[in-house]
Chain A
């Protein structure tokens, strides 16, 4: 390699500039593809961007730590963005209030289904106990899920991966599921996607419809709180009947 280029690379790979820039580039590329596909859920921008970045980091032998030193600036915005979800929630509050019963019933049924089905299917297929426990909180947003996994004896870093994959699966598949079920109400579609696949599902819901997005945000917040309370009990119960 030309010595000048090597020096430039040494500088870039040590500075946060590169991690931040490639994150924005990969996402914009992914988003352009997503738009060109007519917002087809299969062309999920998170999925494509992650794929591009993992390929790039592997090819350039860059560690995730180095990358994250730059990408953390984007990651940080998750906090204020979560707070900002209060605004669509406020705008849609009339609709939310008129649907109080379906919202509460859907929350409890969906939350229980997410926890119990994940653990039982994994057990049926012979997964280890710590893997089953890591799966239990997979439908809630990463910080809550990792905290739960730690408390019940799962592996928090494994849970983090499972949460992301769950989010992408829901964002990619939800439309086909709802269409097959003939569920057309944007409130129900949004709420169910928020229960099943937290923030990544919510992001997808916002791209489709503001009302869906508001209901997904509501579902994500409520399910985070409920799952944190339910999982320790359910995990205890499920592990003892095994």
Chain B
């Protein structure tokens, strides 16, 4: 658990350093994720410790968004002036994105007959 957590932090740190030194538009943790992914490919899989620790973290991923989400209370006044265009835009755009992404994926999956890939 402790070793696994340290590994995750090390990859985050490395990602953070890389993102800043190369001035990349992607945040450090995302780069850390990609680097860990590459490391797992080279290493042939996560050890048991890393497996359980990541499972524990990801099981309650939604908890981790709660502090930032609560920050909505500070900015509500900004939203109030234009709430209608904002709400309609978010609703329409989120719906459209879900539909378009799923539709395009389904179309592409059908065209070149993928062997043994029927859902």
List residues of chain A with CB under 8 Å of any chain B CB.
Answer: 23-24, 26-27, 31, 44-46, 49-50, 53-54, 57-58, 64, 67-68, 71-72, 74-75, 77-90, 93, 98-99, 101-103, 105-107, 109-110, 113-114, 117-119, 121-122, 125-128, 131, 135, 138-139, 141-144, 147-148, 155, 157-158, 160-162, 164-170, 173-174, 177-178, 181, 183-189, 191-193, 195-197, 199-200, 202-204, 206-207, 213, 217, 219, 221, 224-225, 228-229
Contacts and interface: CB of A to CB of B under 8 A. Distances in A.
Interface residues of B, number: 78
A233 B58 CA distance: 34
B74 A102 contact: no
Interface string B98-117: 11111111111100101001
B85 A46 contact: no
Nearest to B87: A165
Contacts of B53: 84
A93 to B, nearest CB: 8
Nearest to B4: A84
Contacts of B62: 27, 31, 44-46, 200, 203-204, 207
Interface string B4-20: 01001101100100000
A166 B90 CA distance: 6
B75 A160 contact: yes
B102 A183 contact: yes
A83 B29 contact: yes
A57 B15 contact: no
A64 B70 contact: yes
Interface residues of chain A: helix, strand, loop or mixed (majority): helix
Given A101-B108, A206-B61, A113 B101 contact: yes
Nearest to A57: B73
A85 B33 contact: yes
Contacts of A79: 9, 12, 28-29, 32
A225 B76 CA distance: 28
Interface in B5-45: 5, 8-9, 11-12, 15, 25-30, 32-34, 36-37, 40-41, 45
Contacts of A83: 8, 11-12, 15, 29, 32-33, 36
Looking at B26, B58, B105, the one whose CB has the most chain A CB atoms below 10 A away is B105
